[in-house]
A and B are shown apart, each in its own frame.
Chain A
Amino acid sequence: MKRSTIKTARAEGNSPASRRVRWGAKLAGLAVGSVALAGCSPAFGAYRGATTQGRSTFHLFQGFAITAIFVGGITFGLLFFVLLRYRKKSDAIPKQRHSNVKIEILYTVIPILIVVGLFFFTVKVENKVDALNPSPNVKVTVTAFQWGWKFYYPATNTTVIGSIKHYPQLVLPEGETTAITLVSQDVVHGFYIPAFNFSRYALPGFVNHFDFTPTSAGTYIGRCSQLCGLYHSEMLFSVKVLSAQQFQSWTSSQAGKVTA
């Protein structure tokens, strides 16, 4: 638990403000850590992100999860205390308290501060995830259609087309930035790679751009996340991350080819 908190902190910059919040997060993490998190995986069930962008998202998720456990713990703590402590004991009428301005201000201001903190980190990570590299190493155009995907590499004029019978494979180089251009041929689809912690709609009539910088070689599943008709569940693809060298030899072997 402790290690992951520190990792979160490292990913979230070094300005004085963020350092203060980081300390807050660390203390919060430690405070609830021993009890609430015992037995939990520090990943809280999420993917750690196999791209630099997905990794940032994962760290943000961890920060949110720690905050959630902290806030949820306090709320449920208060609730269960009240439920046990104030069970009916007699027919006496309790003190008729209408309000307590101090407490009301407290439970308004503290959530606002928490939300401001969450927003601060959100914007930081969002800018990282959405950043577009002006000179990417590889470009791929992804076209979604009912019910499959087409991957086109303009540099080598390589096309890979899939269907529900045959899932296509998107090949990416490790440690290099791939710029994806995403479009749809018919309805709205969702280009979703769980292990990358990322999805984006493929919209008809609108072009989406985003970058991936994969950090670990391997094969990952890709899915359509947005309902697109009858065979939505079977609109799958796979993502293969190769070392830069292997990727080079793959592209040269596929130059000009159409795989269906």
Chain B
Amino acid sequence: MTLLEQKGEASAHLPVEHHQGPTGYYRWLSSTDHKVIGKNYMYTSLVFMLIAGLMAMLIRTQLASPNSTFVSQQTYNELFTIHGSMMLYLFAGPFAFGGFANYLIPLQIGAPDMAFPRLNALSYWLYLTGGITMLLGFFTASGAAAFGWVGYAPLSSSTNSPGAGPDLWIVSIALVGFSGIFTGVNLVTTIFYLRAPGMTMFRMPIFTWNMLVTGLLILIAFPVLTAALIMLYADRHFGTHVYSVKGGGSPVLWQNLFWFFGHPEVYILALPFFGMVSEIFPVFSKKPIFGYKGLVFATLAIAGLSTGVWAHHMFTTGTVLLPFFSALSLLIAVPTGIKIFTWIGTMWGGQLDFKAPLTWAVGFIVAFTMGGITGVFLASPPIDFATHDTYFVVAHFHQVLFGTTIFAGFAGFFFWFPKLTGRMYREKLAKLQFWLVFIGFNLTFLPQYLLGLRGMPRRIAVYATTDHFTFLNRLSTAGAYLTAIGFVVFLVNMWVSWRSPIKAPDNPWDGHALEWATSSPPPSHNFHKVPPIRSNRPTWDMNHPEHADGRVMTAAELSREVLD
């Protein structure tokens, strides 16, 4: 027994029943266990996603015919505002960094919990409270906020958008913002300080790497948003003039602050999902990830660049230095492209086992590649002048965001479902859901590129027969309904898995990272025994010693490593 292993095993040999605590509903409410909080986050964000998805159905129904009066223009503006706000603030981010990261990071690095378990619980409750606060906007006299998820000043001022609905929107995002900041602190601290012995930085799974970078980006971006929101609230209620021309303020300042948050936010939403598929491709190819270090550096490059591209959302304001923001925005395509080639390289020469997680992950590559390529168009200011605020942009960011959060998100969800629940999902239903959503998704968003190029602005509630937008909008609506049927299949899958469970083995996929070395679901302190960590896939090394990445170390190497 080596010194290193003794150290690793000692920390993992905590008494199992030591922290069992309360059970049932009270356990869900009071727990500071990262696994319980992670699951709370995941299920809550999925519910928010389904609610926001229903709003999307109403939006698409309104747009299915010209001069539509299915909902009023006011209601329409509220619907797309809250649809976007819920999807971005309440689903995409929290699903990833509240749900998956919370659940998986301690498991992947061999830690018993997050660094600050109570702060973690506070994060969740702030998030839930914030989410409910946002929805309450619909029950106020003024209705919910109706100025888009970006809340541009001065449309969001007390003159242009009076009432409690917009206030609730501001407060809810501030709450969710604080929740995100606390989660960011927790993630970064956990990854830096709680790694098991042997888990060096370059042995961390790619998902953990991506969550570290995401955590840092959260700490860069979210405080700016929260500060901007507080100033907006002060403008509305305390007579300040930060964003109003009359008092010497500047409406463009809001756009700068918002997008300084907003663009890193796009990568805060994307990186975790890149991390998930980077776990999935190797496992279902029976190969290690291709170009591990390249992938890590690509992630760091994306993070660095993402803080310098915010004004590409503002090309048409006439207030920004176009070549600078254009160059950086175009450049970000390079590390993103590296990732795509890395995933293809991982599958190259493998034994691809098309279980649901791999199928969904491939769907992600398809969607994300299309969305990424059209993003390059928008990084070019003249092309952006022609397409800004049209359905071309709507199609682009839905391909990117739906591609990541839904395709990669469900790849991850099905991949880790056995670990989360100790049960298997139904493979056939997961595949059926995939095909419905994949066809529906493309049918929804591909026509929108053409609509945008033909001049349909986003956020319009009505269009005329003479605009000739009807046919493409009908296709898009049909696609949206098909996608919705896909999600009904998902609910059926969950129902069946709940009512007639099939027990999941501890390591159903021959997984690579540490979470597959413990039981499904893991005990309250995660590990009875942590296998030796000699590479970035310790569970694989343990199960396939003849193909192990980590070789057995000499005594000299070992003592050097322990000293480090």
Contact = CB atoms under 8 A, between A and B. Distances in A.
B139 to A, nearest CB: 20
A92 B293 CA distance: 27
B9 to A, nearest CB: 27
B505 interface: no
A71 B245 contact: no
Contact of A71 (B146, B288, B294, B373): B373
Contact of A186 (B154, B294, B463): B154
A47 interface: yes
Interface in A215-260: 221, 223-234
A204 B154 contact: yes
Contacts of B285: 86, 94
Contacts of B288: 96-98
- Residue with the highest number of chain A CB atoms closer than 10 Å, among B160, B316, B347, B453: B316
Contact of A93 (B337, B338, B348, B547): B547
Interface stretch (A9-17, A18-26, A55-63, A151-159): A55-63
Contacts of A56: 382
A233 B464 CA distance: 10
B455 A98 contact: no
- Residue with the highest number of chain B CB atoms closer than 10 Å, among A96, A206, A234: A96
A76 B74 contact: no
A64 B334 contact: no
Contact of B455 (A71, A87, A126, A194): A194
A195 interface: yes
B345 interface: yes
B239 interface: no
A81 to B, nearest CB: 9
A192 B450 CA distance: 17
Interface stretch (A29-37, A103-111, A137-145): A103-111
A97 B282 CA distance: 11
Contacts of A122: 326, 330, 380-383
A202 to B, nearest CB: 10
Contact of B462 (A111, A118, A233): A233
Q: How large is the interface on B (under 10, 10 to 19, 20 to 34, 35 or more residues)?
A: 35 or more
Contacts of B194: none
B521 interface: no
B457 A99 contact: no
A56 B382 CA distance: 9
A72 B294 contact: no
A165 interface: no
Nearest to B251: A204
Contacts of B286: 93-94
A179 interface: no
Interface string A35-70: 000000000111100000010111011001100100
- Residue with the highest number of chain A CB atoms closer than 10 Å, among B77, B317, B327, B340: B317
A199 B385 contact: yes
A3 interface: no
B354 A231 contact: no
B322 interface: yes
Interface string A100-122: 10011001100110010011001
B448 to A, nearest CB: 11
Interface stretch (B163-171, B201-209, B364-372, B429-437): B364-372
Contacts of B138: none
Contacts of B450: 45
Nearest to A106: B341
Contacts of A91: 351
Q: Chain B interface mostly helix, strand, loop or mixed? A: helix
Nearest to A146: B160
Interface in B322-345: 322-323, 326-327, 330-331, 333-334, 337-338, 340-341, 344-345
Contacts of A227: 77, 147-148, 152, 155, 458-459
Contacts of A146: 160
Interface string A192-205: 10110111110111
A210 B385 CA distance: 12
Interface string B274-305: 00000000000111101111100000000000
B383 A192 contact: no
Contacts of B457: 190, 192, 223-225
- Residue with the highest number of chain B CB atoms closer than 10 Å, among A56, A125, A195: A125
B350 to A, nearest CB: 5
Contacts of A107: 337-338, 341
Given A205-B250, A224-B457, 19 more contacts: A46-B453, A56-B382, A83-B362, A91-B351, A94-B285, A98-B291, A103-B345, A119-B330, A123-B323, A125-B380, A126-B322, A126-B382, A197-B382, A206-B319, A226-B389, A227-B77, A227-B459, A230-B146, A233-B461
26 contacts: A57-B385, A60-B382, A61-B377, A61-B386, A64-B383, A68-B376, A76-B369, A79-B344, A83-B347, A91-B351, A93-B351, A97-B349, A98-B292, A103-B341, A107-B341, A108-B294, A122-B380, A192-B390, A194-B390, A201-B318, A203-B252, A204-B245, A225-B389, A229-B147, A229-B160, A233-B460
Of all A-B residue pairs in the complex, the 8 with the closest CB atoms, nearest first, are A194-B455, A205-B245, A233-B460, A197-B386, A225-B389, A107-B341, A208-B318, A45-B453
